[in-house]
Amino acid sequence: MGISNTNITEKIDLIIARHGTTVDAVIPILQDIQAEFNYLPEPALKRVCDITDISPARISGISTFYNQFRQRPAGRHRIRVCTGTACHVKGALFVYEAFRREMKLEEGEDTDASLIFTIEKAACLGCCTLAPVVRIDEVTYGHVKPDSVGDLLHDFLSKMKEAPSDIYQDNSPQSAFQGEIRIGLGSCCVASGSYEVKAELERTLAQAKIRVDVQQVGCVGICNLVPIMEILKPGELPAYYAKIKPEEVKEVLLSHFKPEGKYNRLRNGFYNLFEKLLANGAPKSFRKYMGEQRDTPLSKFLGPQVNIATENRGVINPIDIQGYRQAGGFGSLKKCLSEMTPQQVVDEIRESGLRGRGGAGFPTGLKWQLVKDQDVPEKFVICNGDEGDPGAFMDRMLLESYPFRIIEGMLIAGYATGAAHGIFYIRAEYPLAVMRISEAIRICRENGILGTSILNSGFSFDVSVFKGAGAFVCGEETALIASMEGNRGLPRMRPPYPAFRGFRGQPTLINNTETLSLVPWILHHGAIAFSKIGTSGSKGTKVFALAGKVKRGGLIEVPMGITIRQIVEEIGGGIAGDRQFKAVQIGGPSGGCLPASAADMQIDFEALKAAGTMMGSGGLIVLDESDCMVDIACYFLSFTQNQSCGRCTFCRIGTRRMLEILTKIRSGKGTDEDLNTLESLAVSTTRGSLCGLGKTAPNPVLTTLHYFRAEYESHLRGQCPAGKCLPLIHYEVTEECIGCTKCAQRCPSDAITFKPYEVHSIDLEKCIKCDICRQICPVNAITVR
Amino acid sequence: MPLRFVNMIKLTIDHIPVEVQEGITVMEAAATLGISIPSMCFHPGFSNHPSCMVCIVKDTARDNFVPSCALPVSEGMNILTGTEEVRKARKEALELLLSDHIGDCEAPCRLSCPAFMDIPLMNRLIATGDFHQALHIVREEIALPLILGYICPAPCEKACKRKPIDAAVSICLLKRATAQYQDRADSIVPDLIKGNGKRVAIVGTGPAGLSAAFWLLRTGHACVLFDQHEKAGGALRYSISEERLPKEMLDAEINTIRDMGAEFHLNIPINKDFFQHEILSGFDAVILATGNLTSTLADAFGIQPDSTGSFINKRDFTTSLAGVFACGNIIREQKMAVHSVAQGKMAAMQVGVYLGTSVGKMEQDESDNAANMQADREARNRNPVSMTGHLFEQEWAEYMKDSIPDPRLEPMGGILEGFTREEAMHEAKRCLHCDCRKPVSCKLRLYAGEYGANRKRYAGSERKRLTRSINHEQVVYETEKCIRCGLCVEITEKHGEMIGLTFAGRGFDVHIAVPFNETVREALTVTAWECVEACPTGALAYKTKEERDK
């Protein structure tokens, strides 16, 4: 690489000037170096050591710990294949392997020879309903098929060549607004093309001189129907257009709004187009639902939900402070500052029964009380937004969509506990969340919501943002603090708990993003109102990312106490296709799998724990009969095993050995003894690990062993009943084959011998089990045995 | 300043109520009761970040397992430190650590030697020209190095890790060389400790009898050897040809034993009468090393079979007669003389236990169980907790760092002549130093032995590749012996090493590395001593020190 050393020196010195020379600046400095060079060149790191307090040992230790940092040059474009749970069950690994083949990568390589693309697996891109999902730089592709990855790369490169088109905007304030259009711009909406829809919308509005207020709103949660556009017009029921495409925008728009008279010619042009479309009877991909209409998929999806953390979902613009205020925002803060003592606030939270939404469910009021009771001048409040579970993106959605609400929650927590500093810990992989929160912080400062003497109360509080560098273990509070202090993200022994000795040795309140976002509602409506929702031990609501084999996935907020069956069948609309509901995976890698027979269980911290799983941060993946439970256990364990900090023996080595045994079982070579060793090691690892990651990592194994032991035993006999474990399956062509040669043309290993119009056959020696033939066959003539 | 009272905490450890200062750890609290808890990663004065989990205890008040080295005491704890459940948890931690610990406690040559002779150490001493000390090391286990140097089939050489690389080290001839190249004539006769007044009769003068005599004489006993043949040597003299073992050599080594003070009573048929009157009544103890013991003979001596029909206890070499022991082929027909030599030593040690005349480590074991404890210790040494197995080809270079690339040397003067002094020194340098440099202070070996940890229990599907860094003047660093406790990282940081050591990577792949691909020499400029002392395993070790102290 042609980077000269003087060049590096200058750039590094600028970066250090931004972040300072203390050891706790190491992560921000490395993040900037990585942004500058696409990796961490060694001369750059040495320069940092030369002019800061950061030692070679520290910088090496940090740069090899976090996922974000690279030691080798990366390609110009970054391909991230989502391997979140929903994508996993929909064949993400086939896609990943297909990219690697396309890029001609050897084992251990992640970048193609011409340094164009670098490929990596992403824990979750948060577009579960579009699974399998791939993101190249900022472009997201949904429903990716292994046989189309080559086309996809070409498509991406050709788009790169196009100059971004300017959007013509008309800002003349001449006529009255005819209505309002809301369009969701959460990450998943964007991934499904909502920016394109919005661009088309603005272009059409401008050309037709239609005066409509276009509101960008946060995640609407109805991820299964995105992009979704809502049209509000005085005197009409709200209309929702689901799965709308840019080319359909004009038509929809003109069916609601009339262009201005003097643009008749233009209008006529549109009408003509509209007429033509109608006359042609061209199939429309979008679906229209009217608000308050019953029995639509939309109303069923939204019906059982209760919106507290996601209050005003799909209504307010995330960074419109006026909108937030009009909807009652900052009212709770005002109430606290003007009418309540800090102890009263703590009491209110305690009486509400709120428990931490990060997974373990520690009583929030008690945590606040502990921090409040520390008689020291400096305390901190940290919002834990280091979400990293595969298949969970609640925190990201909340941060992106409701930044003011979370800031308000944090301010209330600061007031109650006597802290003056707040820190948002958000992983750098969530750029939109970081941007929205940073923007919201700036707006709050301008409006006197942050800073000295907030709302003239005498209470001062300010916040900053720390970008996590990508380590799942940093969700553990002591590891999170370690990383903020410029260390490797290693959890430490508790006690002392952060409430006593936390960030910089000071009492520190660490609350999950969702927990903080519930706080303003509780203060507004009162503890009793909150505690009326839910079960005896678990109050309020919980946000889940519902995905997998349900008809309707998305982000949902449901009252505690709702049954799993209600979620799967009512909200999710049941299992897609004609398959059987088999299990749900709750709580991500720390949680476990519950069989369909346990679906009447209520969502409740204790009930889930008793069943061997846990609330976790809220992934809820529905599995059907085609999912192999050994594969699922292996999938989650390989995630935690990879994310272990490597500090304590049971987690570092125990999870690895468990994974090896699972791999052996999946290859049909397992024995009864292996199953026993697996089980006993799972129990020992739960018992002997230092932090929550290790203690809960065996849960997916233990629950599947408990509920689906027969499936493990089948594997010992060399059979994978669901046909998922590659070493135990092979592909075959059935008599249904029509001899179309499609599969043979696409087979990457030339394993399919064919004569046109005759039944093909697969050479098992050559077959690499990439699944392409099965997916491409027009008559489902490829089976897995 | 206001007076500060130290808060006291009440808790129970192993059912004993105790009151200790707030802030101390469970491990420290246990120590006040004299309860010691094992730990590998704990080091006084350091950050106390638990990682090895060997110090795990159970708090029944909270029904959880906790690392005692880091957990502060709290009111109402009910700690159990030694229950079966706790011991099992520790054993599992040790087994997991062992499954990821790539290295050999003992070299494979030593393990395959029936006498468990410290071959690598002998090699290193020869390589430096210290034949005197080398002979001493050999005779710690093998009383007859010269004789065995001719006739031993050398199972050690079949196990040598150098064998697949080019050819095994010529161990057998090197052992012979230790007896051949002594600077002073009298240096052949080892130092003896002061006589203890006990007299031991040894019946039979083959390899087992001679070996037993050698050990008993060294430890201060008077020995009389009886043999029905005209000359001493037993099977060594009468079953092995002159071409394999020159009689001159046999005589020389027998003479050494004679010079140590042994009396040889030859040409005496050992019958019932002689045994009863001359041997049993005239000596404090007897060792039978007659090569065989027929039931007629046993009956004649008055030895009764045990419940299994055996006349001799193979574990402690006792017979039904108090003070009468047996060893050598009398126990089982041996193909290799080295087996008999090994048993001669073990039988002699049992005699020491019986007579209360044990020396060295044996003295400490005064309980009735001394013999069993000794047997356990032997067994433990011979079943080391860590073994690597064969080397992968890419590891050869790592091991060759401690060696020379030259091919196996054949003696210029032929096999019967053996190595010259210089040839021996050169050949000895071919040794790869497979054995651990911290055989005594390695805590993993210590605790894994104590807890009976099985290295194979959690053996991974494929072991990591070992590396060896030797460029530091005093220190060897072997990454894959490390348990990732990080003490060295902290030490180098504390002393402000410019380069120092760091953790690299994460999870299972985490390892200790030198930043920016520098070497250990650059990393440890002033902290080598402290790091080696703190390292709980052989990952960081001195190149030479510990074996000298052994």
Q: Which residues of B touch A652 (CB under 8 A)?
A: 100, 484, 507-508, 510
Looking at the 3D structure of chain B, how many domains does it have? 4
Q: Do B516 and A55 touch (CB under 8 A)?
A: no
pLDDT value at position A317? 81
Contact between A254 and A261 (Cβ < 8 Å): no
ipTM of the modeled complex: 0.90
Asked if residue B459 and residue B414 are part of one domain, the reply reads no
Name the residue facing B506 among A57, A496, A645 (closest C-beta): A645
B494 touches chain A (CB under 8 A): no
Alpha-carbon distance A678 to nearest alpha carbon in chain B (angstroms):
10
Domain-located, residue A171: no
Residue B438 in domain:
no
Of B54, B67, B92, the CB nearest to A493: B67
Range of the domain at B41: 8-82
Domain-located, residue A169? no
The answer to whether residue B502 neighbours chain A at the CB level (below 8 Å) is: yes
In the block, tokens 């001195």 appear at B542
- The CATH number of residue B50's host domain is 3.10.20.740
pLDDT of residue A79: 94
At residue A95, the pLDDT reads: 95
- DSSP 3-state helix, strand, coil percentages of chain B (rounded to 5)? 40, 10, 50
A645 contacts in chain B (CB < 8 Å): 506-507, 510
**Same domain for A348 and A450?**
yes
Closest CA–CA distance from residue A411 to any residue of chain B (Å) = 33
Q: Say if the Cβ atoms of B461 and A650 lie within 8 Å.
A: no
- Residues in B touching A649 (Cβ below 8 Å): 51-54, 93, 96-97, 483
The Cα–Cα gap between B122 and B137 comes to 6
Preferred mutation among B83, B487, B494, B502 to probe A, highest tally of A CBs within 10 A: B502
Per DSSP, which regions of A72-116 are E strands?
Answer: 77-82
Lowest mean pLDDT among A584-588, B367-371, B512-516: B367-371
Note whether B254 and B345 are same-domain residues: yes
Question: Do B68 and B131 fall into the same domain?
Answer: no
Q: Give the distance from residue A671's alpha carbon to the nearest chain B alpha carbon, in angstroms.
A: 14
The reply to whether A246 and A128 lie within a common domain is no
Q: How many CB pairs under 8 A join A and B?
A: 137
Task: Pick the last residue of a domain from B358, B383, B404.
Answer: B358
Chain A interface, best mutation among B503, B517, B519, by max A CB count within 10 A: B503
What pLDDT does B4 receive?
61
**3 state DSSP class of A621:** strand
**Is position B375 within any domain?**
no
**Which residues of chain A have a CB within 8 Å of the CB of B499?**
56-57
Query: Of A488, A493, A660, which has the smallest distance from its Cβ to B70's Cβ?
Result: A493
- B-chain CB neighbours of A660 within 8 Å are 460-461
Asked if residue B444 has pLDDT above 80, the reply is yes
Note whether A249 and A278 are same-domain residues: yes
Q: Is B240 part of a structural domain of the chain?
A: yes
B328 Cβ contact list (under 8 Å, min separation 6):
B204, B206, B207, B208, B209, B289, B290, B291, B334, B340, B343, B344
Same domain membership, residue B270 and residue B150? no
Q: What is the mean pLDDT of chain B?
A: 90
Task: Take residue B170 and report the two structure tokens written for it.
Answer: 């010529």
From A470, which residue of chain B is nearest by alpha-carbon distance?
A: B506
Q: Is residue B102 part of a domain?
A: no
Residue A603 lies in a domain: yes
The whole-model pTM stands at 0.89
Give per-residue burial for A72-82: e unless 16+ CB within 10 Å, then b: eebbebbbbbb
How far does CA A36 lie from the centroid of its chain? 26
CB A528 within 8 A of CB A595: no
pLDDT along chain A (785 residues), means of 10: 73 96 96 93 96 96 94 91 88 94 92 93 77 84 87 86 44 54 71 76 79 71 74 72 80 73 47 43 56 67 85 81 93 97 98 92 96 97 90 85 96 98 92 91 96 95 95 93 96 92 97 97 96 95 89 88 94 89 91 94 93 86 93 94 95 97 95 96 96 94 97 96 91 89 87 84 89 89 88
Contact B516 A42 (CB under 8 A): yes
CB nearest to B53's CB, from A42, A46, A650: A650
Asked if residue A555 and residue A511 are part of one domain, the reply reads: no
Give the one of B53, B489, B509 whose C-beta lies nearest to A688's C-beta.
B53
Q: What is the pLDDT of residues B250-289, one digit of tens each?
A: 999 999 999 999 999 999 988 888 888 889 989 999 999 9
Domain membership flag for residue A328 = no
Chain A positions in Cβ-Cβ contact with residue B492 (cut-off 8 Å): 57
- Domain of A700: which CATH number? 3.10.20.600
pLDDT, position A330: 97
Query: What distance in Å separates residue B111's CA from the closest CA in chain A?
Result: 28
**Are B208 and B266 within one domain?**
yes
Q: Do B67 and A690 touch (CB under 8 A)?
A: yes
Based on the fold, state whether residues B112 and B200 are members of the same structural domain.
no
How many structural domains is chain A composed of?
6
A512 in the same domain as A631: no
Residues B215 and B325 in one domain: yes
Q: Does B377 reside within a domain?
A: no
Question: With an 8 Å Cβ cutoff, are B52 and A649 in contact?
Answer: yes
For residue B232, give both structure tokens: 């001493």
Q: For residues A458 and A451, what is the distance between their CA atoms, to the nearest angstrom? A: 10
Q: What SS3 state is found at B381?
A: helix
pLDDT of residue A167: 35
Percentage above 70 pLDDT, chain B: 93
Residue-wise pLDDT tens digits, A373-387: 999 999 999 999 988
Q: Choose from A647, A678, A679, A693 for mutation: most chain B CBs within 10 A.
A: A647
Residues from A contacting B (CB-CB < 8 Å) are 42, 45-46, 55-61, 64-65, 471, 488, 490, 492-493, 495-496, 641-650, 652-657, 660, 663-664, 677, 681, 684, 687-688, 690
pLDDT the model gives residue A160: 74
Q: Radius of gyration of chain B from Cα atoms?
A: 27
Distance from CA of A716 to the nearest CA of B (A): 17
The two three-digit tokens of residue B268, written as one number: 């005496």
What's the pLDDT score for residue A263?
46
Residue A88 sits in the same domain as residue A209: no
A413 and A346 co-located in one domain: yes
**Three-state SS at A276:** helix
Confirm whether A461 is domain-assigned: yes
The last residue of one of the domains, among A302, A328, A349, is A302
Please indicate, yes or no, if residue A72 is contained in any of the structural domains: no
Q: Give me the residues of B, 518-547, that contact A with CB < 8 A.
A: none
* Cβ atoms B224, B217 nearer than 8 A: no
- Whether A323 is covered by a domain: the verdict is no
CA distances to A20, A24, A43, A232, B70 from A17, in Å: 6, 14, 18, 49, 39
Does residue B333 share a domain with residue B223?
Answer: yes
- The answer to whether residues A578 and A666 belong to one domain is yes
Chain B interface, best mutation among A23, A26, A48, A60, by max B CB count within 10 A: A60
Residues A409 and A348 in one domain: yes
Q: Is B92 an interface residue toward A (CB < 8 Å)?
A: yes
B541/chain A closest Cα distance in angstroms:
21
- Asked whether residue B89 is domain-assigned, the answer is no
Under the banding of pLDDT at 50, 70 and 90, the label for residue B474 is very high
Whether B80 has its CB under 8 Å from any CB of chain A: the answer is: no
Task: For residue B2, tell me if it sits in a domain.
Answer: no
What is the distance in angstroms between the Cα of B106 and the nearest Cα belonging to chain A?
24
The amino acid present at A500, given as its one-letter code, is F
CATH number at residue A139: 3.40.30.10
> CB B507 to CB A690 under 8 A?
no
The answer to whether the CB atoms of B457 and A677 lie below 8 A apart is: yes
CA separation for the pair B33, A703 (Å, rounded): 41
What angle, 0 to 180 degrees and rounded to 10, lies between the N-to-C axes of helices A699-707 and A629-643?
Answer: 170
The Cα of B161 is separated from the nearest Cα of chain A by a number of Å equal to: 27
The CATH number assigned to the domain holding A463 equals: 3.40.50.11540
Q: What is the CATH number of the domain that holds B467?
A: 3.30.70.20
Residue B545's pLDDT is 67
Q: Which residues of A touch B65 (CB under 8 A)?
A: 687-688
CA nearest neighbour of B143 among B230, B77, B219, B51: B219
Task: Give residue A699's Cα distance to chain centre.
Answer: 21
Residue span of the structural domain in which A703 resides: 541-716
Looking at the fold, whether A518 and A571 belong to one and the same domain comes out as no
> Is some CB atom of chain A closer than 8 A to the CB atom of B296?
no
Instruction: Examine residue B3 and state whether it is found in any structural domain, yes or no.
Output: no
> What is the least distance, in Å, from the CA of A646 to any CA of chain B?
4
Residues in a beta bridge with B540: B477
- Is residue A317 a part of any domain in this protein? no
User: Looking at chain A, which residue has its C-alpha nearest residue B49?
Assistant: A492
- In DSSP notation, B51-116 reads -S-TTEEEETTTTEEEETTTPBP-TT-EEESSSHHHHHHHHHHHHHHHHT--SBSS-HHHHH-TT-
Same-domain pairing of B181 and B206: no
Of B48, B93, B461, the CB nearest to A649: B93
A667: how many CB neighbours lie within 10 A of its CB?
Answer: 14
My answer on whether B347 and B491 are in the same domain is no
Domain boundary among B65, B82, B99: B82
Q: Would you state the pLDDT for residue A165? A: 40
**A512 and A564 share one domain:** no
From A138's Cα to the closest Cα of chain B, the distance in A is 28
Residues A430 and A524 in one domain: yes
* B positions 255-294 inside 8 Å of A (CB): none
Q: Which pLDDT value is given to residue A274?
A: 44
Same domain, B236 and B341: yes
The fraction of chain B above a pLDDT of 90, given in percent, is 74
CB atoms A688 and B92 under 8 Å: yes
**Contact residues, chain A, for B497 at CB < 8 Å:** 57
B208 and B341 in a single domain? The answer is yes
Looking at the complex, does the CB of residue B73 fall below 8 Å from at least one CB of chain A?
no
